[in-house]
């Protein structure tokens, strides 16, 4: 049993190291693709890209919605939104019935950025589906249990 634990631990370490390298490569690719938007060298954060994608899907997006959907603070949403507004990716609109509430829409550049982000997500999703198809339902249940427990550890 001790040997299996050691092998599992080594496999986890290898996964993390490999993923970190791949994440860096994917970030560089994503930044290359998204830098063409608005002719800027701005490196968009994952949060900003997720916000743009959510705004693209729903015309009534506000800070509270974004905070809940992304599971981040409203302050983090505000910071990300301010940058997106500054770079002409997002437009803020006051609610006519409640002047304190602000909704967001995308500029043409924002729509382009959302499209690029969504395409990158689709590619990633296809790769995960391809991987998961290699496992039986019983194995997938074990994988899900393991990942959920691992998440709790984090």
Given this model, what pLDDT does residue 95 score? Answer: 77
What whole-number distance in Å separates Cα of residue 92 and Cα of residue 135?
46
* pLDDT category of residue 12 using cuts at 50, 70 and 90: confident
Tokens of 65: 């919605």
Q: How many of the other CB atoms lie within 10 Å of CB of 107?
A: 17
Given this model, what pLDDT does residue 64 score? Answer: 92
Given this model, what pLDDT does residue 105 score? Answer: 94
What whole-number distance in Å separates Cα of residue 67 and Cα of residue 120?
22
What is the DSSP code string of 85-154?
HHTTSEEEEE-SS-TT-EEEEE-HHHHHHHHHHHHHHHHHHHHHHHHHTTS-HHHHHHHHHHHHHHHHH-
**pLDDT tens-digit map of 98-151:** 778 889 999 999 999 999 889 888 988 998 999 999 999 999 999 999 989 988
Tokens of 63: 């800070």
Higher-confidence residue of 88 and 30: namely 88
**pLDDT tens-digit map of 136-146:** 999 999 999 99
Above 80 in pLDDT, residue 30?
A: no
Given this model, what pLDDT does residue 14 score? Answer: 80
**pLDDT tens-digit map of 37-73:** 655 667 788 899 999 999 999 878 999 999 999 999 9
Cα separations in angstroms, 81 against 25, 86, 96, 133, 146: 26, 8, 20, 38, 35
Q: How many of the other CB atoms lie within 10 Å of CB of 101?
A: 13
Given this model, what pLDDT does residue 8 score? Answer: 82
Q: To which residue do tokens 């490196």 refer? A: 43
């Amino acid at each position: 049993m001790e040997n299996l634990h050691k092998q599992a631990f080594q496999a986890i370490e290898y996964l993390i190291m490999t993923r970190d390298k791949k994440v860096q490569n994917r970030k560089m690719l994503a930044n290359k693709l998204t830098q063409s938007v608005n002719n800027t060298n701005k490196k968009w954060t994952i949060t900003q890209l997720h916000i743009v994608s959510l705004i693209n899907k729903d015309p009534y997006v506000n800070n509270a919605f974004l905070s809940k959907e992304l599971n981040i603070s409203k302050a983090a949403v505000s910071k990300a939104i301010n940058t997106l507004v500054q770079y002409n990716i997002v437009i803020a609109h006051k609610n006519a019935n409640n002047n304190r509430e602000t909704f967001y829409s995308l500029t043409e550049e924002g729509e382009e950025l959302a499209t690029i982000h969504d395409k990158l997500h689709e590619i990633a999703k296809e790769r995960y589906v391809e991987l998961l198809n290699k496992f039986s339902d019983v194995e997938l249940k074990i994988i899900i249990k393991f990942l959920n427990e691992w998440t709790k550890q984090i």
